[in-house]
Amino acid sequence: MLTDLKEKVWKANLDLVKYDLVTLTWGNVSGINREKGLVAIKPSGMSYEAMKPEDIVIVDLSGKVVEGKLQPSSDTPTHLELYKAFREISGVTHTHSEFAAMFAQAYREIPCLGTTHADLFKGDIPLTRMMKKEEVENDYEKNTGKVIIERFARLNPLEMPAVLVAGHSSFSWGKSPDEAVKNSLILEKVAKMALGTLCLNPECDNFPDYLLNKHYQRKHGPKAYYGQKK
Amino acid sequence: MLTDLKEKVWKANLDLVKYDLVTLTWGNVSGINREKGLVAIKPSGMSYEAMKPEDIVIVDLSGKVVEGKLQPSSDTPTHLELYKAFREISGVTHTHSEFAAMFAQAYREIPCLGTTHADLFKGDIPLTRMMKKEEVENDYEKNTGKVIIERFARLNPLEMPAVLVAGHSSFSWGKSPDEAVKNSLILEKVAKMALGTLCLNPECDNFPDYLLNKHYQRKHGPKAYYGQKK
Amino acid sequence: MLTDLKEKVWKANLDLVKYDLVTLTWGNVSGINREKGLVAIKPSGMSYEAMKPEDIVIVDLSGKVVEGKLQPSSDTPTHLELYKAFREISGVTHTHSEFAAMFAQAYREIPCLGTTHADLFKGDIPLTRMMKKEEVENDYEKNTGKVIIERFARLNPLEMPAVLVAGHSSFSWGKSPDEAVKNSLILEKVAKMALGTLCLNPECDNFPDYLLNKHYQRKHGPKAYYGQKK
Amino acid sequence: MLTDLKEKVWKANLDLVKYDLVTLTWGNVSGINREKGLVAIKPSGMSYEAMKPEDIVIVDLSGKVVEGKLQPSSDTPTHLELYKAFREISGVTHTHSEFAAMFAQAYREIPCLGTTHADLFKGDIPLTRMMKKEEVENDYEKNTGKVIIERFARLNPLEMPAVLVAGHSSFSWGKSPDEAVKNSLILEKVAKMALGTLCLNPECDNFPDYLLNKHYQRKHGPKAYYGQKK
């Protein structure tokens, strides 16, 4: 079942390797079929090289395995929380990509310092609060989803398709598994550029809102004019 | 029409990937035929892998598409301003290459700290002023060209074939599309070296003018003796 | 003899190249057959490209060559000390991987700043004391093993499968040569992330123990649930 | 003539690309036949991809081209000064490798901070003084050799096979063209590690002499025991 979705999720997971976003098995991508309420996700701890499309696991929104012989990613409950809260998204990516993780570990949001950032993200990349002891010890992965959603109380997940989890690393999402992976890649590049910028100018903080909005809107607004007509 | 120019521009765009100057579709190269007043440029948002020579778009200096089924790069108006103001150049490159972008985001020019820099650039790499709200909201890409030209009021674009746009990234140019790409590559390496140098010696500021001139002239002056006779 | 072990040790040495952990010949991996008390290790100074499985040298725990025409790695006595002291391990890796070496050279332990670290290491990566003149001048490689073991007086080598040797670089280990190499790779990534994190937040020091324990236990504890059932 | 030497010099130049030590054409390697007093060196400004063994230029120690249709590297006079002053060497490499250049641009020697450094270099990597105006304007490349030699007044070039030229980049050398290139690679790695170490510990300065000597001697001393018997 869902052969096409499994193929897309499989390919999106391989793109984590292509884009140099993962070490060993440190990342996973999922995709959702909204009509059926079913999610396709990478098996836990499996190497990207060995994985085949049929290894992708299908779970329902309660986390129950519906198809597949392997265990789904241990991060599955986080993915599911995001799908339930952010109704507009259809793909989720989790990685420990290095530069984004540096900000998450440093407890710093990634400030919007330039147009590369503004081309995708409408503002600073948000950071969750540190999770509490009880949130970590019980239902940790589900609660990881919950603190992300808490942080997005006044944010639009389509305008801000990524988050840093304090002391951990990043999640991103999009309208498809493929888009979720591309957003992870952009997050990583933006994080790297921000680190270098802050080395050169630690007080850097004056990228104007009108330039942020211009770049965001020319790619994503109602009058977007970047790219080809669809 | 302009089959040869389209081939050169296509190849120069692929070199952005070869030299690791671009992520996804974040860069574009153009070339001009000065006799005909026509510019060949990358289509907007198109992946380098999928692009063929015949996808390159031909526009005139007013920006009107003269040949090609695709939309030209959204940065086309910036390229056109540069061709109109800098009569000696025949190729323009725009990238978000990481280290050059770090300086642009940090609002810092790239100081000439060594001979690697002086081998191509006759002085510090200039930074434009931050664009004003009205310049961003109307004719943004054209005005990007205008602030570059404003910054070059007392600079010779052949002696300084690159610029940083504040809060954005870089443009470079040359006597051909290929040379424009090579100048982008050199800019990026020079930016990386400058960042490391400033980490080691934040006050570094004493590279002597006579050494700058020597290196610039031995490659580009009337008595240049680097390379083979042409 | 020990054809299978030599093959595994040979392959693990090649993985040092695959994972970009070595320059020239700066690294070596060994494996032990505990029943026979014999260790298979890379020949000294040999290029990874030229090495074949039959070039792997077999030594006993006193360091005597039992099989092989080549000299074993000059670091062999360090490996042997580790095998004698840490009875649970069956593979050892030594590299000069760059980011781990930066911490060793800076005389700093690698603090646990995030979950990437906690997924493998149950706490900060320890640093040995600087070796004394007499320890260096006589039986240097054996004494390198001894200062590591001294540092592990109150540490469990399976919960902390790596160490920084002051002013030198790193050793790691595991239940197999392959695992020892993977632990070196993780050490290197964790070191790189820590360096960036400390640039962004030099005082960073509040990764909570309960999150460290959660991540360590979900991968390595008695109720581990990461990966597939074995 | 000197077909074998030209082949070795050609291959050593290609290794600059393999080891990621050069951008575009920014580096050159030479080798000398001491009996004939002839030096084989890369042609100026030629791409490594296009170069063939027969393109290597032969010059005598006065710099006169003895064989070859192409212009020798513009850095040839520096190579010749080094061969004349350092009688024990038979290969010279010049690159603008990035991390070594950062130290040269920052006017800092590379301090010996660990055993990776001590395995090849018997002490800090020396930096020349900044060249004077008259030295730059007349016989620049020859004078570059002279300031290197001046800096080595009390140094043994075989114990310290590399130098930083202030505001410029690095030269290295060895007993063959191949060894000169490997020494450039080690210089670059040592420079990168030193930069990271100094970020983590700016006052780092206590790598003990006895450890430096131990590592240097175990690879290069009369009782060296690293590697295989020759």
Reported as a pLDDT band with limits 50, 70 and 90, residue B229 is confident
**So what's the pLDDT on residue C190?**
98
CA gap D228, C25 in Å, rounded: 12
Q: How confident is the model at residue C205 (pLDDT cuts 50, 70, 90)?
A: confident
Query: Is C161 within 8 Å of C120 (Cβ atoms)?
Result: yes
The β-bridge relationship of strands C91-95 and C170-174 is antiparallel
CB burial readout A48-74, b (16+ within 10 A) else e: beebebebbbbbeeeeeeeebebbbbb
Assess whether pLDDT exceeds 80 at residue A40.
yes
Residues of D in contact with C44 (CB under 8 A): 226-228
D208 touches chain C (CB under 8 A): yes
Q: How confident is the model at residue B199 (pLDDT cuts 50, 70, 90)?
A: very high
pLDDT tens column, B19-52: 999 999 999 999 999 999 999 999 999 999 999 9
Residues of chain B positioned with their CB less than 8 A from the CB of A18: none
Which pLDDT band, with edges at 50, 70 and 90, does B230 fall under?
A: low
B226 within domain boundaries: no
Decide if pLDDT at A158 tops 70. Answer: yes
Q: pLDDT confidence of C221, banded at 50, 70, 90? A: very high
Q: Would you say residue A145 lies in a domain? A: yes
Phi, psi dihedrals of residue D121, rounded to the nearest 5° = -110, 125
To the nearest whole percent, how much of chain B has pLDDT over 70? 100
**Residue A228 is assigned to a structural domain of this protein:** no
Task: Assign D1 a pLDDT band (cuts: 50, 70, 90).
Answer: confident
pLDDT above 90: percentage of residues in chain A: 97
Asked whether residue B77 is assigned to any structural domain, the reply reads yes
Predicted structure pTM score: 0.97
Containing structural domain, residue D132: 3-220
- DSSP sequence for C146-211: HHHHHHTTT--TTTS-EEEPTTS-EEEEESSHHHHHHHHHHHHHHHHHHHHHHHH-TT-----HHH
Chains that touch D (3 or more CB pairs under 8 A): B, C
How many structural domains compose chain A?
1
Q: What are phi and psi of B65, to 5 degrees?
A: -70, 125
- Amino acid sitting at position D72: P
Mean pLDDT of D152-181: 98
- Cβ distance D210 to C167 less than 8 Å, yes or no, reads no
pLDDT of amino acid B143? 98
Residue B215: strand, helix, or coil: helix
- What does the CA dihedral C71, C75, C81, C86 come to, rounded to 10 degrees? -110
Query: How far D151 CA lies from chain B's nearest CA (Å)?
Result: 19
State the pLDDT at residue C229: 79
Mean pLDDT of D100-105: 98
Q: Find the mean pLDDT for residues D90-112.
A: 98
**Interatomic CA distance for residues C159 and B22, integer angstroms:** 41
User: How many residues are listed for chain C in this entry?
Assistant: 230
The tokens describing D104, both together, are 């040269």
Residue D228 in any domain: the answer is no
Q: How large is the ipTM? A: 0.96
> Looking at the complex, does the CB of residue D105 fall below 8 Å from at least one CB of chain C?
no
In a domain, A58, yes or no: yes
DSSP at B71: P
Q: What is the pLDDT of residues B88-142, one digit of tens each?
A: 999 999 999 999 999 999 999 999 999 999 999 999 999 999 999 999 999 999 9
Amino acid, res. D220: H
B98 inside domain: yes
Contact with chain C for residue A46, Cβ under 8 A: yes
Sign of dihedral through CA atoms D125, D129, D135, D137? positive
pLDDT exceeds 80 at position C230: no
Q: What's the pLDDT band for A205 if we cut at 50, 70, 90? A: confident
Does residue D192 have a pLDDT over 90?
yes
Locus of tokens 């957003």: A183
**Mutate which: C69, C99, C105, vs D, most D CBs within 10 A:** C105
What's the CATH code of the domain at C112?
3.40.225.10
pLDDT in tens, A52-67: 999 999 999 999 999 9
Task: Verify whether residue D119 is a known catalytic residue.
Answer: yes
Point out which residues pair with D188 in neighbouring strands: none
Residue at C229 is within a domain: no
pLDDT band for B169, please (50, 70, 90 cuts): very high
Copy the structure tokens of residue D98. Answer: 């990035």
Query: What pLDDT score was predicted for residue A206?
Result: 78
**Hey, which residues does D67 pair with through a beta bridge?**
D58
